[in-house]
Amino acid sequence: MPQQLRDFWQRISDGIAIQELFKQFHADARSSYQLYSKEVDSTPREGEPRWKRWWRIVRGLFWAMMMKLSPGRRVLLLVALVLLLIPSVHFGSGDQEVDTSGPHFFAGVLLVVLLALELSDRVTMKRDLEIAREIQSWLMPSEAPHVPGVDIAFATRPANTVAGDYYDAFFRSDTHLLIVVADVAGKSVPAALLTATLQASLRTLAALPGSLTDLVGRVNRYWCDQSLSGRRFTTAFVAELEPATGGLTYVNAGHNWPVLRRASGAIERLEAGGVPLGINAATPYQCGMATLSRGDLLFIFTDGLVEAEDGQAREFGEERMLPVVQTLRSESAAEALKRMMSSVDAFVGLTRQHDDITCLALRMT
């Protein structure tokens, strides 16, 4: 292969092997089909011939894709498809010959123009999302606070450019460290905007005097005003740690139960709390308590971790997460998160991530 051709292929493929490129294409195609098929009724109907059912599905997919374009681009795509359907015919006699393959050429031009318009929108949107991600990264802690006797680490991976997960760790007072992991219903930009609101309200309300249940109650009442009548509720795990004694007070507001791995290997789940934030302003929250000792590991996560799927739509699940936590005997918080994320990556392979994943690990040293 000439060097110029190799350079061209290297630039196009980013040096990825053909087999990996095919796997990526397969994952993208599967994800796209899932997006469009949500709007298509593929349920078999009694007495309906198989060909008619498939025609109904194809027609539904066509309209699902068509209606995601602007009206002008729909017309452009329709004209291109009509031109593609015109048969290519060569006819004539002697020196007089007519070639009707021209419509196919113009159809190709129209499809390229349509692709260019869609790419332009995508690039513009991506630039805006990159700015939003940068702003979101400013709001989230880039590193955990330095606390003697406590090792903390964060790991987050948005399903899209921006995420609806929120994590934080900061001192509420001179002796009490506030730890938060929350998940706003939904993902991408709407959830990210609400995440910023949650972060601002929590930091503001945490400065007021009162117990942890008082704080969660205030946040819940505020969040009920922002949650669109409960449609944008938020699950959250909020805890207050006293590093000197290891005393942990927590409220679990509808969140996945964190895992507390004792130094002995025993596993405990932190369940006490109540319903998610933003559903009922008058709901009472129960406060749970635990005492962390040297070597104990607290692992907090969002549902994107256990609901991560492989190519066969099987979930990672707690049946795979808990054995990984069980093996984390003496690793640092950062190493523990790295091992967990590596386990998820090995399970899902190239399957596209469909939900935000956020984890927080805290090791008493």
The pair of three-digit structure tokens given for residue 158, joined into one six-digit string: 């948005």
> Same domain, yes or no, for 126 and 25?
yes
| CA–CA–CA angle 113, 115, 116 (5° rounding) | 65
> Same domain, yes or no, for 349 and 218?
yes
CB environment 136-172: b (16+ within 10 A), e (fewer): beeebeeebeeeeebbbbbbbbbbbbbbbbbbbbeeb
The per-residue pLDDT for range 261-274, each reduced to its tens digit, is: 999 999 999 999 99
Q: Which residue has the higher pLDDT, 210 or 136?
A: 210
Predicted pLDDT at 50 = 86
The per-residue pLDDT for range 80-96, each reduced to its tens digit, is: 888 888 876 555 555 55
Task: Tell me how far apart the terminal alpha carbons of the chain are, to the nearest angstrom.
Answer: 58
Q: Is residue 179 part of a domain?
A: yes
> Same domain, yes or no, for 64 and 175?
no
Q: Is residue 205 part of a domain?
A: yes
> Same domain, yes or no, for 78 and 176?
no
Residue 148: band (very low, low, confident or very high) from pLDDT cuts 50, 70, 90: very high
Q: Is residue 93 part of a domain?
A: no
Q: Is residue 95 part of a domain?
A: no
Residue 346: CA atoms inside 13 Å, Cβ hemisphere, count? 9
Total domain count, the chain: 2
> Same domain, yes or no, for 214 and 278?
yes
Predicted pLDDT at 154 = 94
Predicted pLDDT at 99 = 56
> Same domain, yes or no, for 230 and 105?
no
Q: Which amino acid is at 321?
A: M
> Same domain, yes or no, for 129 and 182?
no
The secondary structure of 23-70, three-state, reads HHHHHHHHHHHHHHHCCCCCCCCCCCCHHHHHHHHHHHHHHHHHCCCC
Average pLDDT over residues 61-74: 89
The per-residue pLDDT for range 12-57, each reduced to its tens digit, is: 777 777 777 777 777 777 777 777 777 888 888 888 888 888 898 8
Residue 176, burial from CB neighbour count under 10 angstroms (0-12, 13-18, 19+): middle
Contact assessment for residue 159 and residue 355, using Cβ atoms and an 8 Å cutoff: yes
DSSP for 232-287, written as a single string: T-EEEEEEEEETTTTEEEEEEEBPPPPEEE-TTS-EEE---EESPBTS-TT-----
Please, what is the average pLDDT of the chain?
87
Residue 109: band (very low, low, confident or very high) from pLDDT cuts 50, 70, 90: confident
| 209 dihedral zone (left: phi>0; alpha: psi -120 to 50; beta) | beta
> Which pTM does this prediction carry?
0.75
> Same domain, yes or no, for 160 and 125?
no
Dihedrals phi, psi of 188, to nearest 5 degrees:
65, -150
Q: How far is the C-alpha of 150 from the C-alpha of 324, rounded, in Å? A: 21
Q: Is the pLDDT of residue 287 over 60?
A: yes
Predicted pLDDT at 33 = 74
Q: Is residue 156 part of a domain?
A: yes
Closest CA to 139 of 99, 93, 198, 87: 198
Q: Is the pLDDT of residue 353 over 80?
A: yes
> Same domain, yes or no, for 258 and 313?
yes
Q: Is residue 94 part of a domain?
A: no
The per-residue pLDDT for range 180-231, each reduced to its tens digit, is: 999 998 777 778 888 888 888 999 999 999 999 999 999 999 998 877 766 7
Q: Is the pLDDT of residue 169 over 90?
A: yes
- CATH code of residue 250: 3.60.40.10
Q: Is residue 285 part of a domain?
A: yes
Closest CA to 147 of 181, 124, 176: 176
Q: Which residue has the higher pLDDT, 163 or 56?
A: 56
Q: Which domain holds residue 298?
A: 141-364
Q: Is the pLDDT of residue 98 over 70?
A: no
Residue 298: band (very low, low, confident or very high) from pLDDT cuts 50, 70, 90: very high
Q: Is residue 92 part of a domain?
A: no
Average pLDDT over residues 149-162: 89
> Same domain, yes or no, for 113 and 192?
no
Average pLDDT over residues 142-166: 89
> Same domain, yes or no, for 261 and 284?
yes
Contact assessment for residue 257 and residue 212, using Cβ atoms and an 8 Å cutoff: no
> Same domain, yes or no, for 145 and 35?
no
Longest CA pairwise span in the chain (Å): 100
**Neighbour tally for 75: CB within 10 Å:** 11
